[in-house]
Amino acid sequence: MNRAPLIALSVLSSLAVVRPAAAQTSGSASVYSYFLPDYHDYVQPTVTVDHEAVHLEARYNYEDLNTASAWAGYAFSGGDSWSWELTPMLGGVFGSSTGIAPGYRGALGFWKLELYSEGEYLFDLADASNHFFYNWSELGLSPVDWFRFGVVTQRTRVYQTDRELARGGFLGFSNALASVTGYVFNLTEQPPTVVVALAVTLDR
Q: What is the pLDDT of residues 40-70, one digit of tens each?
A: 999 999 999 999 999 999 999 999 999 999 9
Domains of the chain: which residue ranges? 23-203
Would you state the pLDDT for residue 20?
A: 41
Tell me what pLDDT residue 189 has.
Answer: 85
> How does strand 42-51 pair with strand 25-35?
antiparallel
Bridge partners of residue 67, in order along the sequence: 95
Helix residue ranges, H only, the chain: 4-18
Backbone angles phi, psi at 23, to 5 degrees: -65, 140
d(CA 76, CA 74): 7
pLDDT at site 121? 98
State whether the Cα torsion 135-165-84-59 is positive or negative.
negative
Res 190: pLDDT: 85
Kindly report the pTM of this predicted structure: 0.86
pLDDT score, position 22: 46
- Write the DSSP assignment of 14-70 as a string of letters: HHHHHSPPPPPEEEEEEEEEEE-SSS--EEEEEEEEEETTEEEEEEESSSSTTEEEE
Burial code (b: 16+ CB inside 10 Å, e: under 16) for 62-81 equals bbbbebbbebebebeeeeee
Distance CA 138, CA 149 (A): 9
* Torsions phi, psi for 130 (to 5 deg): -95, 5
**Cα pseudo-dihedral 24, 90, 70, 159, rounded to 10:** 120
User: What number of residues does the chain have?
Assistant: 204
The span from the CA of 55 to the CA of 33, in Å, is 24
HSE (CB half, 13 Å, CA atoms) of 117?
13
**Contact of 125 with 94, CB cutoff 8 Å:** no
Which residue numbers in the chain have pLDDT < 70?
A: 1-23
Question: How far is 193 from 44, CA to CA, in rounded Å?
Answer: 15
pLDDT of residue 18: 37
The predicted pLDDT at position 23 comes to 62
CATH of domain 23-203: 2.40.160.40
SS3 2: coil
**pLDDT score for 171:** 98
